[in-house]
Chain A
Amino acid sequence: KNQVEQSPQSLIILEGKNCTLQCNYTVSPFSNLRWYKQDTGRGPVSLTIMTFSENTKSNGRYTATLDADTKQSSLHITASQLSDSASYICVVPDASGGSYIPTFGRGTSLIVHP
């Protein structure tokens, strides 16, 4: 069964500090991996997408990495801000059969304290 595992489940950091969130997946065949940010009371919003040929991609203070060999991805947040407090969800679609049905991780809940 395709799985997406995220760690840690929750994380509390002080404003201005860096943090790294992890995502391990078993989904095969692999097409892409997407990180979503979900603010409290809202739907998830795409942060970045990693394709097979990409190792690292930055979006402002967010940097995602992908190691397709070990089937791992990380999301690094630099100089955290209070607005970074949210749930971060890793999603890997199942590309078999062309359906691209997404498999979601359960997310990492990040709290940034002032």
Chain B
Amino acid sequence: DAGVIQSPRHEVTEMGQEVTLRCKPISGHDYLFWYRQTMMRGLELLIYFNNNVPIDDSGMPEDRFSAKMPNASFSTLKIQPSEPRDSAVYFCASSFVGSSYNEQFFGPGTRLTVL
């Protein structure tokens, strides 16, 4: 398996623009997580899905952030409109029930820069 796939790897955009980050989880995994990582705050859980259904989105910072999982093999995280403080590395991770104590497998991340 290729692991968790994220695209794009790097995104540079201007304030006010819409940004869409994409994730393909590992086949067979039924949990999908979106994280944001910054130097100041470390890794923060934004939202997670179970069987394509959003379970907890309490970490989503504002209404500007939205996430969808239309099927088991694809998820998006959208920021509209983007702001400079959204600049961070965004990670997608997946896991499955029965994995070693809910081990999460992370993608390579998308580095977002909002100018």
CB distance from A113 to the nearest CB of B (A): 22
Residues in chain A near residue B15, CB distance under 8 A = none
Residues in chain A near residue B104, CB distance under 8 A = 46, 102
Residues in chain A near residue B42, CB distance under 8 A = 89, 104-107
A interface residues, how many (CB within 8 angstroms)? 21
A20 within 8 A of B: no
Which B residues, 41 to 74, have Cβ-Cβ distances below 8 Å to chain A? 41-45, 48, 55-56
Residues in chain B near residue A43, CB distance under 8 A = 4, 91, 93, 106-109
CB distance from B111 to the nearest CB of A (A): 8
In this complex, the interface size class of chain B, counting residues with CB under 8 Å from chain A, is: 20 to 34
Residues in chain A near residue B109, CB distance under 8 A = 41-43
A70 within 8 A of B: no
Q: Looking across the interface, which residue of chain B has its beta carbon closest to that of A102?
A: B45
A31, A105, A106, most chain B CB atoms within 10 A: A106
> Residue-by-residue, is B81-115 near A (CB-CB < 8 Å gives 1, otherwise 0)?
00000000001010000001111101111000000
Stretch at the interface among A55-63, A76-84, A93-101: A93-101
> Residue-by-residue, is A12-46 near B (CB-CB < 8 Å gives 1, otherwise 0)?
00000000000000000001101000000111111
Rounded to whole angstroms, the CA-CA distance of A107 and B42 in the bound complex is 7
CB distance from B45 to the nearest CB of A (A): 7
A51 within 8 A of B: yes
Rounded to whole angstroms, the CA-CA distance of A25 and B48 in the bound complex is 23
Residues in chain B near residue A49, CB distance under 8 A = 100-101, 103
Residues in chain B near residue A31, CB distance under 8 A = 101
Rounded to whole angstroms, the CA-CA distance of A45 and B48 in the bound complex is 19
